[in-house]
Structure 1
Amino acid sequence: MNIKSLLLGSAAAFAAVSGAQAADAIVAAAPEPMEYVKVCDAFGTGYFYIPGTETCLKIGGLVRAQLDYGTKPNLVNTVGATNRGYNWSSYANSQFRVNIDAKNDSEVGTIYSSIQLRGYNGQTAGTGINTGTTYNGGYVAYFYAGVDAGAYGFEAGSYDGSYWTRFFGFGGFTDDGGSYVYNDNAYAAFFGKVGSVSYTAGVDDFTRNAGKTAGLNAAVKGAFGPAEAALGVDYDIAAKAFGMKGYVSGKFDIVSLKLMGLYSAKDNNMYAPARGFTMVLGGKVDVTKQLFAAVDYSYSFTPKTWNVVGDLGWNVANGFAVLVEGKYQSSKQTSGFLRFERTF
């Protein structure tokens, strides 16, 4: 009896120890707290916090399909000769863009940066006489970064439209904008805002070869209720050309108007389309919330040339729009396009 009791007791003790070990083996570790992506509303809609940081990120872009028309299109082949191209084409301006914007607050102001990637279509093209002319599609990257402290700031980068260009706007109200010249170049600019008055002063490197084709600029801009006015001076170092640029604009209910003037003392000024004075007069009417019409008229006095551009735009739905543009020049050349664009 004592042996039986001893065996039963040993078995019970072994089972208890085994059960304890088995229970210990399957105990799961406490889960780590999960950090979800949070909405950042400090810089507008579409931003979210990068997990673990105070930086807000926004990702957007567009997909564009465009059919172009021109009565005198030209294509350049590999040996440098210019050939007559097709009147209709869809390879030159169909593209996609991806925008990545990042912002965060700091002790000195808002730190920001922007990267834009573009991809263009490309295919074999010709005159219809088998010239073998080729248009090469490809990818382009633009970028800039800066700090904005309100009354002062600094920005540098290489972008499709320098700070000087964006300060004045891209011409009138059409996609073409009229004869106003915008610079796709590397640049550095100081800027700021005091009350309703903004200012900028910067340097541009038109070919990204410092010291060869650089330009200096400075401008001020003021808002007066529904109206706005800007005036600036520029100097193309390589061309040794002084110039000026300014505009007045206003929005009155559904009608927007803009008058821009450009001046260059010499030819080949990268800030102006021609020597002497050039005028751009633009107007836009928001017919409805989805439909608008715009027109820009440009006139250069030396030499005497002019063009008129008209747009008709339809915002079909949120993120999808159709745009038709036509242009006629004093050289009797007609051009235009039909564009379908999805933005996000």
Structure 2
Amino acid sequence: MKNALFQPMQLGNLTLKNRIVMPPMTRSRASQPGNAANDMMAEYYAQRASAGLIIAEGTQISAMAQGYAWTPGIYSQEQITGWKKVTDAVHAKGGAIFAQLWHVGRVTHPDNIGGQQPISSSAIKAENVKVFIDNGTDEPGFVDVVEPREMTKQDIKNVVAEYRQAALNAIEAGFDGVELHAANGYLINQFIDSEANNRDDEYGGCIENRLRFLGEVIEAMVDAIGTDRVGVRLAPFTSLNGTVDKAPVETYTAAAILLDYLNVVYMHIAEVDWDDAPDTPSEFKQAIREAYTGTIIYAGRYNTDKAGQALISGVADMVGFGRPFIANPDLPSRIKNDYPLANHEPSTLFGGAEKGLLDYPEYQAI
């Protein structure tokens, strides 16, 4: 079963050495001030370069796009230079790495965006959602999000342009491509999901309208850097950060058809991953496979057997292993050799320094 994970594959112009993906995971260790990637982050990703593909942590496309303290950006020259350290380190180890381009929309607090009011598809506050701010200590201080303002047509045009420039910046920084973060309740997801979007213009209402912003952003990025370097992440069944869709099967099958039409290089589906969450319906996965002809990545609660089954059945082409990559920098080797997996320390996930980031060892066979 695990042999399926170690077949090489072609992704655009890249030849990947295996089908194991390190998905994006926020670690909040960018250098301050400036939110730039740094040497510590370069070492972290280089340690994990044995993945077939690394998708780096969400990186905000503008100052307004930031949701949490200490996350990296990709809109200043300092940030581009910082990410170049990361991509150089990963490439030196024979790895491939995409940037994840991120705008959080309403999932933020004025303290993280220079005192401004957040923007979203609609002036709807995300209920029971907290983000963390820099409260002057090394520990993240969690606060409630605030009500956003509805984006104007000009706001939409401006953000589309920011995504386009961020894609160009990512290529300048040495990334092999970019992943558009359209999942987990952030800005693009706030347009897609029916209960987060009450607009009455061409960006709201029917599914076609709610997918319009997604399509415009993809078109801008593809125009800038090419279809073979643009992937998209979606989260059809999650209610993370307060976004819910009334008809997710219908909505996200339509999204898959759109991504196929726009010819993006991959579609990355984040499945719900809390312990007692229901599995994504197999009928939905089959519908997605039929709707989208490119590379499909799934991530969320996968172990070796479940990942192998997904690949052999044909519903997935690659599989992401999130949290296991934190404590197991050599995860592909551990999977291949049936070595035991280490567990990560939750208290060191966000913020801090090398502890919990760089100090997880590779497995030493006795």
TM-score range with shorter-chain normalisation? 0.3 to 0.5
- TM-score w.r.t. the length of structure 1 is 0.35
Say which structure, 1 or 2, has more relative contact order (CA 8 Å, 6+ apart): 2
| Higher share in strand | 1
- TM-score w.r.t. the length of structure 2 is 0.33
- Decide which structure has the larger Cα Rg and report it: 1
| Higher share in helix | 2
